[in-house]
Amino acid sequence: MTLIKKQRYRFSEAPIWNIQRKYYEKEGTKAWNNDQVPQYITSNPMIATSYAEMIFGFLQDRANKEYSSEPVMIVELGAGAGRLAFHVLSELCQLRDYAGTTLPSFRYIMTDLAINNVLAWREHPALQSFIAEGLLDFARFDAVHDTVLNLVVSGATIGEGDLKQPLILVANYFFDSIPQELLYISDGRIYEADVFVEYPEHHDSLKPSELLEQISLHYEYRRAPEYEQKTYPYRDVIAIYQEQLEDSHILFPLAGITCLERLNRLSPSAGFLLITADKGDHLLDTWKFAEPPELILHGSFSLTANYHAIQHVFERKGAMALFPPHNYKNLNVGCILNLDKPMNYFNTRLAYRRCIKRFGPDEFFSLKIWVDRNLDNMGLQQILSFWRLGGYDAEFFIQSTKRISSLLPDASDEEKQDILRGIQLMWSSYYVMEQRYDLALDAGLLLFEMAMYEDSKRFLEISIHQEEGEIISTVFYCLVICCFELDLDEDALRYLRNLLELEPDHEEALALLNNFEVD
């Protein structure tokens, strides 16, 4: 492969960021097919429940204060496939209804750079009930430039000073994917690490994901005294890096910080609550002797988020930052209360302690990795316990059905009832992604094995209506048996004929048809 050397760029202005934008604009919600861009770790029901608990705690705290009839706006930055928003809203509504207490109203606003994503959410079947209830709206939002939110459903525009309630900001895998400055600290001086981008030959014909895989980055340092001036707005945190770091590369989140500041202007007197999860470090020691960054490729790319800088900047403004006291393995979950008297938001802080600090999404994902490797040796109670811990997640059920099936001969009636209940709860909170999977088929077949014919029939019929043209004969055969067991003879005959159209020589079906005609 021949490489063509291009010009020198500031890191935050390098072409890689435009390639990233083009990738998401081109792929839309297909970017998450086959987990090309990871979504499970930051979008599963367990992390969504943790977020809903913190948001509910915040609403409780606001209920103890004087507030207007204006709803609390929950703005998700980079909502991607939309799965996190769906699970958060589902759980938040359940908490609201279960508590039965007076709370401020709320509205969730999903945002993204790619307009194709916004249009896809607007039509997604799982989101329609939230739209109808006035709980959900959408906006295209460019985190680097935009200053207002233009809402798609209501047609309203939220601009500077329009809100009296604090904003709630949700930012998962967000700060690691927007432009960052790359600084280098040596001998107490600040340098910018400029980047040379080398392209493959004929790069104009490559897709964005292919181009990112083939480009090469090289760094050269340039003195940047402007960061050392007292007039630099984030001089305090830069001074810490000068004093305490040596031979260290720092990804400085200027775009992320200024994005938060612009959003803060929507509600300047009330502030914001930020709930965020990322591959991001809030401890200064992590940045000591840090090497130049490498692009983490997954269709698009991501880098490490600098939570230390974000935390320091907003703490200087009076905010309170909550991060786990222990080191994270896969996902660092933080909460920044950029609010007046943040200590008074005790329900929010208690929810963070309960749902993140004590045991949170990072610990859950570490367990999930172990479970994936050991599923074939797990017992039914262990599988059911983990499924329950994960909020009856569909992805875990899909990968577990074979193992559950193998354990059914020894399962108790109580365990079978727990499986049925889990399937019902899972189905009620299932969010269909761009890449569809026939979850109803798996559920129906497993219920058939447990002789739960009425429930099996329901899910198998959902499957055949969703997957017309791709129905396997086994589905019709199971439906025939279900209908016979439920004394639904006409339905059984109809499904027998469907089965024989697919497989005319099916011996069991022919025998059943013969018995049916004799009777």
H or E element: which one contains 5? strand 3-9
pLDDT of residue 66: 64
Q: Is 351 helix (H, G, I), strand (E, B) or coil?
A: helix
403 Cβ neighbours under 8 A, 6+ residues apart:
375, 376, 378, 383
Banded model confidence at residue 467, pLDDT cuts 50, 70, 90: low
pLDDT of residue 5: 58
Banded model confidence at residue 34, pLDDT cuts 50, 70, 90: low
pLDDT of residue 283: 92
pLDDT of residue 2: 53
299: left (phi > 0), else alpha (psi -120 to 50), else beta?
left
Banded model confidence at residue 514, pLDDT cuts 50, 70, 90: confident
More confident residue, 25 or 13: 13
Q: What does the pLDDT look like over 255-314, one tens digit per residue?
A: 999 999 999 999 999 999 999 999 999 999 989 999 998 888 777 888 899 999 999 999
The topology (CATH level 3) of 34-178+255-360 is Rossmann fold (3.40.50)
Output the CA angle 36-39-45, nearest 5 degrees: 150
Q: Where does CATH 1.25.40.10 sit in the chain?
A: 366-517
Q: Is 415 helix (H, G, I), strand (E, B) or coil?
A: helix
Q: What does the pLDDT look like over 43-96, one tens digit per residue?
A: 999 999 999 999 999 999 999 776 667 899 999 999 988 999 999 999 999 999
Q: Please say if the pLDDT value at position 1 is more than 80.
A: no
Q: Please say if the pLDDT value at position 202 is more than 90.
A: no
Q: Please say if the pLDDT value at position 137 is more than 80.
A: yes
Q: Where does CATH 3.40.50.150 sit in the chain?
A: 34-178+255-360
Highest mean pLDDT among 32-36, 160-164, 204-208, 488-492 belongs to: 160-164
Banded model confidence at residue 388, pLDDT cuts 50, 70, 90: very high
Q: Which of 25, 259, 10, 266 is nearest to 145 (CA)?
A: 259
Burial letters 243-277, b for 16+ CB under 10 A, else e = eebeebbbbbbbbbbebbebbbebbeebbbbbbbb
pLDDT of residue 277: 96
The number of residues in the chain equals 519
Q: Which residue, chain included where needed, has tokens 């291009």?
A: 6
pLDDT of residue 469: 62
pLDDT of residue 22: 85
Q: Identify the weakest region by mean pLDDT among 16-20, 365-369, 398-402.
A: 16-20
Banded model confidence at residue 346, pLDDT cuts 50, 70, 90: very high
Q: Identify the weakest region by mean pLDDT among 49-53, 325-329, 497-501.
A: 497-501
Q: What does the pLDDT look like over 152-170, one tens digit per residue?
A: 999 999 999 999 999 999 9
**CA pair distance 463, 268, nearest whole angstrom:** 50
The CATH classification number of 366-517 equals 1.25.40.10
pLDDT of residue 512: 74
pLDDT of residue 517: 61
Average pLDDT over residues 458-486: 86
Amino acid making up residue 224: A
Banded model confidence at residue 518, pLDDT cuts 50, 70, 90: low
pLDDT of residue 504: 79
pLDDT of residue 4: 60
Contact status, residue 182 vs residue 193, Cβ threshold 8 Å: yes
Neighbouring CB atoms inside 10 A of 163's CB total 22
Average pLDDT over residues 217-235: 94
Q: What does the pLDDT look like over 295-306, one tens digit per residue?
A: 887 778 888 999
pLDDT of residue 513: 72
Q: Which residue, chain included where needed, has tokens 């365990």?
A: 415
Token representation of residue 506: 């099916």
Beta partners for 198?
A: 5, 216
